[in-house]
Structure 1
Amino acid sequence: MSVLVLVVDDEPDIEVLFRQQFRRDLRAQRFMMDFAHSAAQALGRIGDTGERTLILILSDINMPGMSGLEMLPEVRSRRPDVPVIMITAYGDAETRRKALEHGAEGLLTKPIDFGQVRQEIEARLERAA
């Protein structure tokens, strides 16, 4: 079974960072990563994962056009089986509350703690096995 993690962020360097952090896992094909640079692009990707099983979505909150918070209810209605963790530069209580109210399973703050991201992915890999 091929499993997929979708990362949604409008910053182009995020893809490079994630690929560097998880290069061994990606080479070993433990899981695959796909990247969407907007909420609209992400919504298209969640419906077309092919043979891959989507196990986690990591999404930035602040993006041009549709924000991550605006995208979240749509993701939850289309793919209620897939957990979503929001990523933000603003880790205040109000942002956390809004993310959880909109259906996020958690909130990570920037700069991204890749150890924490790895734990989240590992937990989903165990469930998918």
Structure 2
Amino acid sequence: MKVMVVDDEKDVQSLFTQKFRKEIRQGAINFSFAFSAEEALQTLKVKNSEYLVLILADINMPGMNGIELLKILKENYPQVKVFMITAYGDEQTYQTAMQYGADDYINKPIEFETLKKKIWNL
């Protein structure tokens, strides 16, 4: 399964690699990382997004935020599932994310066992 993580905090790469090391080693999951919404969109344009199953996108990022990214993703890549991730979970942001088509909404700190269950249930 191909998953892209979009977050402006670069340490998420080592965190996800560590938390999913067994699944990565087994070839069950393959992560790519983008450190801005703009980078994620550029990567999707250049690389074939056909096999991308899931995007995990932070909401609060400089430049284009995760909600704006979500709207573009759902318009241009409707087959891709999008989970929104935030450290600032307020009801308005949740409602907006759901309105724009988020497939799930996850609060930080991420509970990785729960996230794994959600991913495998896609």
TM-score, structure 1 normalization: 0.88
Number of the residue aligned with 1:42: 40
3-state SS of paired residue (2:73): helix
Letter in 1 for 2:79: D
3-state SS of paired residue (1:10): coil
| Distance across 2 between alignment mates of 1:50 and 1:84 | 17
- Unmatched segments (≥5 aa) in structure 1: 125-129
| Distance across 2 between alignment mates of 1:87 and 1:111 | 9
3-state SS of paired residue (2:121): helix
Letter in 1 for 2:80: V
Deviates more, 1:46-55 or 1:10-19: 46-55
Cα distance, 1:51 vs structure 2? 8.4
| Number of residue pairs the alignment of both structures matches | 122
Cα distance, 1:52 vs structure 2? 6.8
3-state SS of paired residue (1:47): helix
Number of the residue aligned with 1:118: 116
Number of the residue aligned with 2:99: 101
Tell me which stretches of 4 or more aligned residues in structure 1 moved more than 3 Å: 47-52
Letter in 1 for 2:29: F
- Unmatched segments (≥5 aa) in structure 2: none
Residues 4, 52 of structure 1: 8 Å contact kept? no
Cα distance, 1:16 vs structure 2? 0.8
Change (3 A) 1:51 1:83: closer
Residues 8, 37 of structure 1: 8 Å contact kept? yes
Number of the residue aligned with 1:78: 76
Residues 46, 79 of structure 1: 8 Å contact kept? no
TM-score, structure 2 normalization: 0.93
Cα distance, 1:114 vs structure 2? 0.6
Number of the residue aligned with 2:54: 56
Give the RMSD, CA atoms, in angstroms. 1.5
Percent identity of equivalent pairs: 43
3-state SS of paired residue (1:87): strand
1:9-32 Cα offsets, whole Å, 9 max, x none, are 000111111000000111111120
Number of the residue aligned with 2:65: 67
Number of the residue aligned with 2:20: 22
| Distance across 2 between alignment mates of 1:5 and 1:49 | 13
